[in-house]
Each structure stands twice: as structure tokens, then as C-alpha cells.
Structure 1
Amino acid sequence: MSYTGPGFEPPQPRRSRRGPLTVALAALVPGALLGWAVYAAAGGSGDDEAAGTPTVSASASPRTSSAAPSASAGEGKPTGSSTAKPPAASGALEGKVVVIDPGHNPTNFEHTAEINRQVDIGTNRKECDTTGTSTNDGYAEAEFTLDVAHRMRALLEKQGATVKLTQDEDRPFGPCVDERARIGNKAGADAVVSIHADGSGTGNRGFHVILPGAVDAGGADTRAIVEPSADLGARIAGDFVRVTGSAPSNYIGGGTGLVTRKDLGGLNLSTVPKVFIECGNMRDSKDAALLTSGAWRQKAAQGISDGIVSFLRG
């Protein structure tokens, strides 16, 4: 996903007001970073490269293959269980609605005219969708996002949640970013998470969670969801570190794993708590090795799901 566009903001220092959310974020994010530090010291899969000069650009490329680059991409079939953390009691999320938004679509590249159509995102107009990025060996972001979404669905349904996907490779392209937001709104979702992987430069590693900024323009008004979305995002970031051992991004977010943006239609047009997560950088060989591993994708699904569960249970 691109980091250019109107309204893109790097994380800003928070005001000194210490409300309940401030306390929660202060507890969650440092704890997550400490968890990663312990994991990395023990030889885990965290970032072991020196952080390069931060960049704010990402070049997306069309999907070149629907197949993973090696057998490791197919290992570890989606399951509803994990040994990373004991599951909550059965039915703990009964009555809760979660919408999972797998970024892009595996056949978007066949419908360039349709996905290049401009749609209203409140602050301005943007493309309906993009092709997404891929690893250097051709494993497409759209394949990755669907796989993680399926694994998350199994985990969350096991705990009683009603889970809806914005797309399940059941349409030729899209949906457009404005429709993705409407799907979550119409479902009355208690939480929405959009799954992505980045396409930044080599040496840029790690994950980051994108939070909605305060927008009140055109058909967009995120003011009511900014705080609950920040809570959701912080919990996901903390559990993602704990379960996967991956480090927060070394090129954006100032080491927090959290970034605020106002230029994404999927966030701007949401009326329910929603975040994006960029699970890693497909253009870095070390991150790509994780993203193409079925076992690691199961951990990613578990970490994101655990964050959602924590948010929904309060």
C-alpha cells in the first residue's frame, strides 16, 4: 500500500490527557515491545537487521502468479486451533460480529479499468482498488490476505463470533474501498480488520497497524470511531508481537507498530471500529520468508484474532 496521498500523517505525540484509553495504550504497546525484545533475545523471528533510513513509499506490483514460491507457502492448513495461547471459553464471542477485509482480490489485475475507477472516500477521490503487491517470487498479497482471513474466520467462529468476509474470491474484482467500508457498516460489526502486506524497500521489515484519523469531510465522519479503533489496534499490535515474535516496523510508526492515516477510504467511510494491519514487507526477503510460510500465517491469524477477542471482551 502506498504511503503517499492527502492526509497521511506519521504518528504524532499524544496530548497529556490521561483518560482510560491513554492508560490502556500505555500498558499495551510497551508490553508488546518488551515481549518482542524477550523473544528476539531468545533467537526468535524478530527483526535482526539494523534499521535503515525510514521511507514513506511503497511500490505495488501486479500479481504475477497465484502459486506460492515454494512448498513452505502451502504448509500449515488453516485451522481453528493454536498452541500459542489457550482458547477462551466456547461461545465467549456469541452475539459479536466481526468483519474481516482481505485486501485486494487475486484477479484484480485482470480488471484494471474497473479497479482504476475513482470513488469518493470523503476527503477526496481515489482508485476503487489496486492489485496489491507480491513477493519477488510472485506470491501475491491478495493470496496472502485471503489465507490469513480464512484462518482468522476459523479461530473466531470457534469462539462463537459471527464472521463475515468482504470478499472470498467470489467476485471478479474488488470490492471497491467504499463498498468494503459499507459492508462492515451494514453488518453492524463490533470490529473490522483489513488484512494487508506491504511492498516497501528491501531492509524495511516488520508489521504495523493503521488507525483511522479524525475525519469530518463529505460523506466521511470517523470521529466516533477514532478512540475504539485505537484501542482495537493497540490490542492487535500487542498480541501480534506476542504470538508471531515479529517486530514492529523499522521504517514507519517510530517503533510503536501504530500509524494514523486519513487517506484510506476503508477507514474514512467506516462507522464501526476498524483498523488495517500490514503484516510484513513482501519485498524484503526475510519478511517474505515469513509471509510465505503457512505455519507463520497461522501465528499471524492467531495474533490478530487474539487482539480482536481482547477488544471485544473488554
Structure 2
Amino acid sequence: MPYDHRKSLTPALALLGCALGCLALVGCGGAADDAAGVPGATSSSPAPRASAAPSDPSGSADATGTTGSTGSGDDAPGRLPLAGRTVVVDPGHNPGNFRHSREINQKVDIGTARKECDTTGTSTNAGYTEAAFTLDVSHRLRDLLKGLGAKVVLTHDADRPFGPCIDERARTGNAARADAVVSVHADGSATGNRGFHVILPARVDSGGADTAKIVGPSRALGEDIATHFARATHTSPSNYIGSGTGLDVRDDLGGLNLSTVPKVFVECGNMRDPKDAALLTDAAWRQKAAQGLADGIRTYLKG
């Protein structure tokens, strides 16, 4: 979840949450910046546009859930549908952030302001951390996209003690000249607030941030993801953000402000709501979430 709207966990609860999250998954990892709590500014966005292609049921999944589809009929014979495309997947937060409060509290320039390098993220009431969730979904998404032929770059893979900072995450997508960047998160809002939402970049031209060229493409990417995420997971758009569209526009997130390539944040659900938490902690549902993200990215990139 975007950080500035979420409350960091107390050190004791944070350490317990990370430990339990790491027991639940083989790897923990994530970054912070942007997705959190109830964002302070929302916008009324049009309903997600109808997708050109449904969730692809034709590809067979192996034991890891990797789709083996060779794509739709408009692809050249033997050519995977996303061959030649680059997608950057950004797992939100990092489990090591709990142990590096000084470092992640250092502020960086996001164009419109200065903001903390990263945050700890949130967790379920039982202690399953957002960092563990985002890394797991990101791994599943990476495998699905690779199965479609895409080159996939992770901003981190729990291979560093903390971070990366939000500006570095943006630079990773920019340097890769990514065709799409998706930052995976889960929200930390109040009980009763349910559903997913996709955060889109607002028009920003301030300091080192200029989103003019990515606002339109990012919206198209977000709309396709919202449509396919709902279809794959059988969950509804947020009942507390986005006026039922599943879309939210923000100008306070460094990961979006500093991006020069199409990018969105996806809040897959609310970890603090028991019903949403039951989904987020279920491995089968996480696979559906990854499939919805992959289907949305594929539809966007195929035009």
C-alpha cells in the first residue's frame, strides 16, 4: 500500500508480523512508497473499459502455475504473445525494512515533495505481512509473464536488507524501458473496507517529475488490469476508493511521479479486513490474483 497513508507497525508487532509472514512463505520481500490506508485524494474515474480479450483459459498450467499458452491466433506461429516485451514487476515493501527504520525514513525527492525512502507496509491481524504477500504474487506474476514470452525484471527479490527506495524503483522501470510496470500491494484500511483498486498517475509537472507522456497509457493499463483482476479473482472493486470503478488517481506517489514509462499500483485487497485477509492469505487465490494481473498486462500490450 502506498506508504504515506498507512501507519507503520510498532517494532514488536512488526517483527512478529515479519517472522510469521516468512514462515507462511519461503521468501519475504517488498518495497514501499505509495500504497497505503485510505489515500487522501481520490478522483472520480470512468468505469474500466471493456477488455478486448478475456482471461486466457487455453494455456495449460504447470505445477508452479506458469501458463504455457502460445497466445491467440493473431500471433505468428511459434511466437509467444509477449515476445519482445519488457515488464517490470515491483513487489511492494521489503521485510527487512522493519530492521532498518533509519534508512527507510530518509527522504527522497519525488518531484512534488520529499518523501520517505520506503515503509514497512501493513499486515493481516494474524501477522501475514504485505511484504510477504507482494513478493509471492510477484513471483507468480513473473512466471506467468515469462510463459507468455515477456522479459520480466523485478525491482527486488528479497535480496537486499531494505528498500529499494521509491525513486530507485521508478528508475528501474525507466532504465529497463519497460512496456509496462506494475507495483503489487495490499491495503491497510479499516475493517469493512473491501475490494481491490488500481492507482493511476495524475498529471504532474513539478521538479524532476513529468507524467504527461504516461498518464494516458497508464490509464489504459490500469483499466485492463481492473477488468481482468475482477474476472480472475471473482472479487469486486473497492467499496471505499474509486466510486466503484476500481480506479484511483494520485499525484503523491513517487513511484508514479518519477516514472517515464506506463505504470500503475495495484492494491489487491485490504489486509485489515478479515474477509479480504482470508483471500490474501490463500495461495490458490494469490495465483488467481497473479493471473488477473497477467491477463490485464497481456491485453494492454496486445492493444
- The answer to whether TM tops 0.5 is yes
Matches within 5 A, 1:27-42: none
Among candidates 5, 8, 19, match of residue 66 of structure 1: 19
How many residue pairs get aligned? The number is 257
1:91 shift after superposition? 1.3
Q: 1:296 aligns with which of 265, 285, 299?
A: 285
1:121 paired with 2:106, answer no
Q: Which one of the candidate residues 83, 88, 103 is aligned to 2:71?
A: 88
For the structure 1 residues 60 and 238, does the alpha-carbon distance in structure 2 shift closer, same or farther, using more than 3 Å as the test? farther
Matches within 5 A, 1:233-252: 233-252=222-241
The verdict on how the C-alpha distance between 1:222 and 1:103 changes in structure 2, with shifts beyond 3 A counting, is same
1:204 is aligned, of 182, 188, 193, to 193
Corresponding residue for 1:257?
A: 246
Question: Is the 1:66–1:143 contact (alpha carbons within 8 Å) kept by the matching residues of 2?
Answer: no
Distance 2:228 2:100 in 1: 36
TM-score under structure 2 length normalisation: 0.81
State the alpha-carbon separation in 2 of the partners of residues 68 and 134 from structure 1.
Answer: 9
CA distance in 1, matches of 2:151, 2:71: 16
Q: Secondary structure of 1:107's match?
A: helix
Answering whether residue 100 of structure 2 is matched by residue 111 of structure 1, we say yes
Amino acid at match of 1:67: L
- Under a length normalisation based on structure 1, what TM-score does the superposition of the two structures give? 0.78
Note the alpha carbon deviations across 1:225-265, whole angstroms, 9 max, x for none: 00000000000000000000111001111000000000000
Q: CA RMSD in A?
A: 2.1
Aligned partner of 1:312 in structure 2 is 301
Shift of 1:79: 2.2
For the 8 Å contact 2:86–2:178, the answer to whether it is kept is yes
Q: CA deviation at 1:67?
A: 3.1
Distance 1:266 1:128 in 2: 11
* In 1, Cα distance between equivalents of 2:239 and 2:137: 23
Paired-residue identity, %: 64
Q: Is the 8 A contact 2:92 2:184 kept in 1?
A: yes
Residues 280 and 77 of structure 1, relative CA distance in 2, 3 Å threshold: farther
Pairwise CA distance, 1:87: 6.4
Q: Look up the match of 1:35.
A: none
- Alpha-carbon distance between aligned partners in 1 of 2:22 and 2:276, rounded to the nearest angstrom: 14
Cα distance, 1:159 vs. partner? 0.8
1:186 lines up with 2:186 in the alignment: no
Q: Is the 8 A contact 1:68 1:292 kept in 2?
A: no
- Matched residues in 2 for 1:254 and 1:169: separation? 35
Structure 2 unaligned runs (5+)? 27-61, 73-78
